[in-house]
Amino acid sequence: MTEWWRGATIYQIYPRSFQDSTGDGVGDLPGITRRLEHVASLGVDAIWLSPFFTSPQDDMGYDVSDYCDVDPLFGTLADFDGMVERAHELGLKVIIDQVLSHTSDQHPWFAESRSSADNPKADWYIWADPKPDGSPPNNWQSVFGGAAWEYDPRRRKYYFHNFLTSQPDLNFHNPQVQDALLDAMRFWLDRGVDGFRLDTVNYYTHDPSLADNPPASPEKFAAAGGTYGMQDHIHSKNQDANLRFVERMRALTDEYDDRMMVGEIGDDGDTAIALMSDYTRGDKRLHMAYSFEMLGPHFTARHFRHNIEGFQEGAPDGWPCWSFSNHDVVRHPTRWAHSAASPDAIARQAIAMLSAFEGSIGIYQGEELGQTETKMEYHELTDPPGLRFWPENKGRDGCRTPMVWEGGDPHGGFTKGKPWLPVKAPQLAHAVDGQEAANDSVLHHYRAVLAYRQGSAALRAGRTAFVDLPEPLLAFHRRAEGQALTCVFNLSTDTHRVSVDGAAALVGPVGATLADGVLELGPNGWAYLDGGADAEVALQAA
């Protein structure tokens, strides 16, 4: 076992928006294959593909109707096999999404389950009787708003759905359900995938007593953007039984060489970090986990330090995966604009900082271009939360618009047809071809930082020890295999200076100046400092 995933950089591809090869305006697997050389040129270790399985596309593929086939929208199984082969030729591992907590209501399993109370799959989903007055069985809420129960007149029962009504949750208390899902995972392992990203991995099991969830703390209740955030979800997710199925998945992947699983923890605050720790502790659960704690609006030294130290304390033998953007959140150059000298400045600092964090890291397509969030009009939306709750919730379409390959093409070289989401001028300005031609572009900076990280034992595998500096300065040491680096970041638009005691040299891509023992960090500046001879650099706020 090489454990290639430790310290790896994983590049997320959203298939709908990467490259269209047919002119229908939707990205596909042959398009991904065509563009893999670009991905490999970044110096990443693996790709993660968001869902491409057969689906009605109510939630853009996160509503699966066949776990073991490719939706015709994206191509064929032969196209998938060709994509995996090409990725492996380029030295890229392939990780695919597994959406196991729920299926589409168009899945044959659900069609059979809802057909009667005594069919073989009657108990494959979570069914419950109405209360005497016809209301839902309890107070559980859906992530996408409203009650998490939908009445089905055929069964004369409610079924549970954490997300859309067309995404019924599977009943993991039924061993047959677990076995069927493990068979689906084995199908893809046998086709050569190197790992799985597990969607909402802490949502699999529920409390079979169906007890009401208590209200959230007053602080969380006040900050809630919808009814889901008004509850503490102690009965509808985060069950201890969940870990038993995670252990079954780990046993499956351990039958194969060099395979891995990274789980998405759907929770917030200290609960999310604690769950990341629980789900990665030891060698029988997930290889890695990530949460949304670094995918939110907070951009302070205290916030980043609190999350990293929280994970270290909770799972000293676990392994985290950190990222700043993905297909579910506003892109970070826009999200953190309040602390940015410019979108490009925050993009440059962000990859330097992310690359210095202990664990593995994920980057989202277009991030390497400094891509910003697309401003959407209501008539352009496709995402269910945005369509339902506009304008308070604008949905996730703004981070899902197509990759821009050619700045002179009206659709950015993504398609010869009409793209499924618009390509707009602010995004075209970040096109790949323009950045390839400019030596000082964000794209070239990403390559330089990732190449330095790839060659640094301290950054890929070193332990972290934080340095006490005042806001907005984040600083820590990383040490491994005879190399010690001190990493310093100025999380503001002002200039800050730090006194450096002893010998030190700036190494890697440079984002600060060092002269006469003073490190000067301009707006969104950063520094990797090498003290030589495995020595940590002493710092003090100037």
Q: Closest by alpha carbon to 459, among 7, 5, 6? A: 7
Q: Closest by alpha carbon to 508, among 458, 433, 474? A: 458
DSSP state of 226: S
Choice among 240, 255, 440, 516 that is catalytic: 255
Asked if 199 is an active-site residue, the reply is: yes
User: Whose structure tokens read 């800050």?
Assistant: 496
**Which token pair is 278?**
């629980």
Count how many Cα atoms sit within 13 Å of the Cα of residue 366 in the half-sphere of its side chain.
35
- What CA–CA distance (Å, rounded) separates 449 from 368? 11
288-290/260-264 β-pairing: parallel
Q: Closest by alpha carbon to 326, among 391, 384, 398? A: 398
User: How are strands ordered across the β-sheet holding 513-515?
Assistant: 513-515, 518-521, 496-501, 538-541
518-521/496-501 β-pairing: antiparallel
- The three-state secondary structure class of 125 is strand
Peptide bond into 523 cis (omega under 30): no
- What CA–CA distance (Å, rounded) separates 198 from 324? 18
DSSP state of 128: E
- What CA–CA distance (Å, rounded) separates 488 from 124? 52
DSSP state of 462: -
Give the DSSP letter string of 343-402. Answer: HHHHHHHHHHHHTTSSSEEEEETTGGGT--PPP--GGG---HHHHHHTTTS--SGGGTSP
H/E stretch holding 498 reads strand 496-501
- What CA–CA distance (Å, rounded) separates 217 from 345? 37
3-state secondary structure 83-109: HHHHHHHCCCEEEEEECCCECCCCCHH
DSSP state of 169: B
Number of H helices, E strands in the chain: 15, 22
**Which token pair is 52?**
């491409």
Choice among 45, 58, 150, 199 that is catalytic: 199
Residue-wise burial string across 401-414, b where 16 or more C-beta atoms lie within 10 A, e elsewhere = bbbbbebebebbbb
463-466/46-49 β-pairing: unpaired
Dihedral sign computed on CA atoms, order 54, 56, 57, 58: negative
Asked if 397 is an active-site residue, the reply is: no
Catalytic residues: 199, 255
